[in-house]
Each structure stands twice: as structure tokens, then as C-alpha cells.
Amino acid sequence: MRRRPAFRSANSGRRLAQGLSLLFFLYLLWTMRAAGSGCLPDWLPPDLYLRLDPLAAFAVPVAMREIIPPLLPGLGVALLALLFGRIFCGYICPFGATLDLARFLGARRPAKRRDPSPGHEVPAATPRVWHGGKYLLLAALLAAAALGVNAVFAASPIPLITRFYATFILPLAQLAGKQGLDLLRPAADSLHLDALSYAQLAVRRFDALFFILVFFGALLTLEHFRPRFWCRCLCPAGALLALFSRRPPWRRRVSRCTGCGQCREHCPTGAIDASVFHTDHRECIACRRCEAVCPGVTRFSFTSSRGHEGRGPLTDGAGRRARARSGLPGRRQFLQAGLAGAGCAACSLLGLDSLQQPAAIGLIRQAALLRPPGAVPEEDFLRLCLRCGACMQACPSNGLQPTYFAAGVAGMFSPVLVPRRGPCEANCNACGQVCPSRALRRLPLDEKQRAKLGAAVVLPKKCLAWEQDRRCVVCQEVCPYGAISLRPEPGRQVPVPFVKPQRCFGCGACECHCPVESPAIVVEALGALRLRTGSYIEAARDAQLVLELEPKDAIHLLPGGEALPDGALPPGFTE
């Protein structure tokens, strides 16, 4: 079979677009670490791809019962499908690009010249009825959203792939880089390459990786046996685009058909049926492999080709005569899926899954849950948060971590602050800058510095100063808000720390740096401020909080503002 030149142009063009899209996606992910530093123009947000997720664009506004402006571009992508079909899946989606890349990297090299090149083997078929699975999943997720529960995060491709790269791949790359630097350092020293010998790479670490490993491990392995299995059978965003792609103007058109059937064999999503003229455009992800292997004329275009030669029927044959079996499930199945989704949502709302879930009706809020600064109140937060991991990627101290069940099943993989891993840096507001759904409000720095996360509490029985009469007070040393004061305590030779909750932001620097193995000062979500709208500066003032990095009363003799009692020694001095 002669390879047509079109193979190179159509398929290479698509691969180029897909590759560039993936690289661009990774570049944006990398810039999140520097969020707010101005390395991107204002009109190019680092969370661009997350905003393009069509599923989030539909489901989150339904769950919230209001329009979410930052997510509107996702609706644009869905509307794009009206014109171009599932071109997003074939050209833009980084999840699809990752699957294709995995297949390419894992493919066996061709033994003979005539064998198909890597990535172009004949893909194994999946039963057509399996393709309906993605529609059922979509129905379940939308039903859950209708009840106000956001379960989109479980299956939405863009947040999932963002978390895959941010919490797994990039830390792996950093680990490899660090090992490389460690190996090169002696050589760099002797060659006086100072920039290299002092180069340091901080390796990020994230919790809740087991899910990512299992989920993506399964999918990437499956990719070698059933290419694009996710896109065919599971992806609810793909299902949503499919619903818009019944008959797009830009679609596959066949003219000179030789009847060889190669296109049907090579189609990775099984979109081409027996008659080879008819394409189920809902399943077609516009990968254009059919174009590549066709000895006749197959094109993706807006218009039919002129000049019909050959033996087969004319043009694209999507006429009423050739009605292919559709992968769409029946009405009853849709209903069942919807009920299943709604049922799970109802369980979640009643809190049957966890007694500690804060959003459930009338249950106790779990005190230890520290949310990132600027997080909206918990009920809305759980609806808005896509579990994309952008905030975790942006956080400079690596303190924002995904949680398994600390916030209940409905809160899985949502971000919590783990101060022992890293505090909330006082001069940073990166997380809010990158959150695509505004579950974390985008706050200017002075507002963020009043978005109290909680308050620190000293555990005197563990504290070196309180319990063992030893000189420590590292907590006071690192507190950026001056919330820890030192007082002489009767019966003790050393000053002991006291927390002033009105001055404490809850950043966790104290807990992070406490030298005791199990910290003697811990931050809990006490007095946290969480506002859907409005000014944190005003709210802090109303709550009588004094959250200043350089308080105007800094000239007081003791941090915290108390005067040194007569006859008392300054902290740290002895007789």
C-alpha cells in the first residue's frame, strides 16, 4: 500500500498541534510557581486549560446555581464542537496528548518496513456498547450537580491531568534533576562553575499520590491494549462534546473510495462503520489517521470534494440511508445513570459517608481543616473546587496538599494547608491567582494578609520552654505577624511563649519550625475568615483582629504589646 503524501501533512500537522498544546500546557503549569510575578501577560492566565474544560463549565454553574465567569471559555469549547466536532480531543486536550505520548513511547518499533510505524498499528476494537459508558458517567455527574454536589473532579480530564503533572510528574523530574546536580557538583567545583556548583533544586512532595498512581497507571497501561480507551468509553467531557458533535460542518468526507476498509481498521475510536462512508462524528476525535491510510481521497473539511470518481457512493454518505448504529445509550440507561449520580450525591449531602464532613446538613465542622487563604465558605468551596492542584503547584512552601478524607468524600483531593510541610508565606498570594473556578478568591496581597486561616495553640506539655524550662521560642522567632509574646512565668527560668489569637493569621510558621518532633504549637481553624464576597480588611477590623506584618505598635517593648514588668529581665537574659 502506497503511503500518500497527505499522511505526513494531515497527521503530522495534528501531531504538531497536539505536541505544541501539551508543551504549552506544561509551560503554563510551570509559570504557576511564579504566579503573580508578571512573567505572563494579563490576558494569558496560567489556568487557561482548566478554564477550557467543557464539563466543568456546565456542571459547576449547575451545582452552584449561578454563572461562573472564569469557566465560560469551556462553554466556548463546547460550542466549538458544533463547528468542528471533537477537535478538542484530537488537537488540544493535554489528557489525550499524554495518552498518545504514552502509546508512542511504549510502542514496539516496527520489525519490517511494511509494518505500520509506531503509533499506527491497527488498534483493537472495543464493543460499541462500551462507548456508551461515557454518556452514562456524564449523566451521573450532571445529576449530582443538579443536587448541588460537585463530583466532576472524579472524572474531568483537565483537572485530573493537571494534578497528574503537578503532583507526580514534575516532582519526579525535580528529583531526577536534584540527583543530577548532586552528581555534577564535585565536577563543577573543580571547574569553578559557581552557578552550577551552588544550584539547588527543592523537590516538591505531595500527598494522596496513590490514587494518581493507580488511576493513571491503569489508564496508561490500558493505552497499549485499547488506545484512547479513556476518550472512547469514560471521558465525560468527551461525552459532552460528543453531544454537540452530531454533524459538524468540518468533518470527515470520503470521495474516491476503493473499499479497502483500512480507515475502519485504523480508527482508534471505532467511529467509522462498515460502510466506511459514514462516520459517527460523536466518536470521531479528528485524529485523521483514516486520512493517512486512505489510498483514495479522505479529507477533513468544510465542503465536499469536487469531482467524484471511483466506485463508491458519493460524498460523505451521511445521508438518511446509511444510519449507523449510534453509541448513545438508550433513554432508560440515561435515567438509571442519572439516578445513580443523584443517589450518590444525596448520600454525600446527608453525610452518610463521613460523620465529619463539614458541608453536610447540621454536622460538626472539623476543626483541623485549614483551607488556603481566600477560600470561600465550605459549602460553596466544595462545589467550586475542581481538585485541579493548581493552587498546590503555585504554593511556594509546598504546604498546600490534597487530602483524602479530611473533608469527607465530597472533599476528596481538595487542598488543605499542612503547616508542618510548609507554612502559608506572608508575602505570597499565588494560590488565589491561579484558581480557575474562584474557589480561592483572587485577592490582592493586603487583602490576603487578613484572610485569617486559623489560630495557633501552644501545647504546654510538649513545649520545651513550658515543660522543660529550656531556651527555645523558635515559634516567636519565625512568626511573621508578631502574634507570639514571651512572658516571664513564675517558677521558670526561661521566658515562655503565649499566642495572641487576635494577631495570629494561622500561617503555621510556628508549627512548621517547632523543634519538637510532634509540634508543641499547632494551628487549628479557629476564628478563620471565609468570605464569598467583600473585603477581608474590613472583616478583620470588624472581628477586632490586628493582622499586620509591621504593626504600628511595633515600638512596644515586648512582642504582642505588653510592657516589661518592673524588675523583670528582658527575654533571654539572666541574672
Q: Which residues bind other proteins (CB under 8 A)?
A: 178, 182, 185, 194-195, 198, 200-202, 396-397, 423, 425-427, 464-465, 470-474, 476-480, 482, 486, 494-495, 509, 513, 515-516, 549-551, 554-559, 564, 569-575
308's grid cell: 467524484
What are the Cα distances from residue 404, in Å, to 412, 413, 415, 446? 5, 6, 10, 32
Q: Which is nearer to other proteins, 129 or 191 (CB)?
A: 191
Helix (H) or strand (E) segment spanning residue 299: strand 298-301
Report the nearest approach of other proteins to the CB of residue 32 (Å): 16
Report the nearest approach of other proteins to the CB of residue 183 (Å): 10
Name which of 224, 329, 207, 226 is nearest 270 in CA terms: 226
Report the nearest approach of other proteins to the CB of residue 226 (Å): 44
186's grid cell: 564535585
Name which of 454, 456, 460, 573 is nearest 516 in CA terms: 460
Report the nearest approach of other proteins to the CB of residue 137 (Å): 42
Q: Which is nearer to other proteins, 341 or 559 (CB)?
A: 559
On whether the CB atoms of residues 233 and 133 are closer than 8 A, the answer is yes
Report the nearest approach of other proteins to the CB of residue 27 (Å): 21
Q: Give the chain's end-to-end CA distance (angstroms, integer).
A: 96
Q: Rounded CA gap, 479 and 549, in Å?
A: 9
- Which alpha helices (DSSP H) does 85-193 contain, by range? 87, 94-106, 133-146, 157-164, 170-190
3-state SS assignment for residue 523? strand
Q: Rounded CA gap, 26 and 48, in Å?
A: 11
Q: Which residue has the cell 478563620?
A: 528
Report the nearest approach of other proteins to the CB of residue 399 (Å): 11
Report the nearest approach of other proteins to the CB of residue 171 (Å): 16
Q: Which is nearer to other proteins, 296 or 497 (CB)?
A: 497
Q: Which is nearer to other proteins, 123 or 480 (CB)?
A: 480
Q: Which is nearer to other proteins, 239 or 456 (CB)?
A: 456
Report the nearest approach of other proteins to the CB of residue 574 (Å): 5
Q: Which is nearer to other proteins, 491 or 567 (CB)?
A: 567
Report the nearest approach of other proteins to the CB of residue 563 (Å): 9
566's grid cell: 518592673
Report the nearest approach of other proteins to the CB of residue 444 (Å): 18
Q: Which is nearer to other proteins, 412 or 472 (CB)?
A: 472
Q: Which is nearer to other proteins, 115 or 553 (CB)?
A: 553
Q: Rounded CA gap, 431 and 442, in Å?
A: 8
Q: Rounded CA gap, 37 and 470, in Å?
A: 42
Report the nearest approach of other proteins to the CB of residue 60 (Å): 33
Q: Which is nearer to other proteins, 436 or 482 (CB)?
A: 482
Q: Rounded CA gap, 403 and 392, in Å?
A: 11
Q: Which is nearer to other proteins, 80 or 504 (CB)?
A: 504
Report the nearest approach of other proteins to the CB of residue 524 (Å): 22
On whether the CB atoms of residues 74 and 54 are closer than 8 A, the answer is yes
Q: Which residue has the cell 477550557?
A: 52
Q: Rounded CA gap, 511 and 475, in Å?
A: 7
Q: Which is nearer to other proteins, 201 or 537 (CB)?
A: 201
Q: Rounded CA gap, 147 and 344, in Å?
A: 10
507's grid cell: 500561617
Q: Which residue has the cell 490582592?
A: 444
Partner residues linked to 499 by β-bridges:
484
Q: Which is nearer to other proteins, 538 or 553 (CB)?
A: 553
User: How many Å separate Cα 556 from the centre of its chain?
Assistant: 45
Amino acid at 528: A
Helix (H) or strand (E) segment spanning residue 30: helix 12-31
Backbone angles phi, psi at 537, to 5 degrees: -60, -45
3-state SS assignment for residue 124? coil
Report the nearest approach of other proteins to the CB of residue 476 (Å): 5
DSSP per position, 418-477: -TTT----TT--HHHHH-TT-SB----HHHHTT----EEEE-TTT-HHHHH--S--HHHH
Q: Which is nearer to other proteins, 317 or 396 (CB)?
A: 396
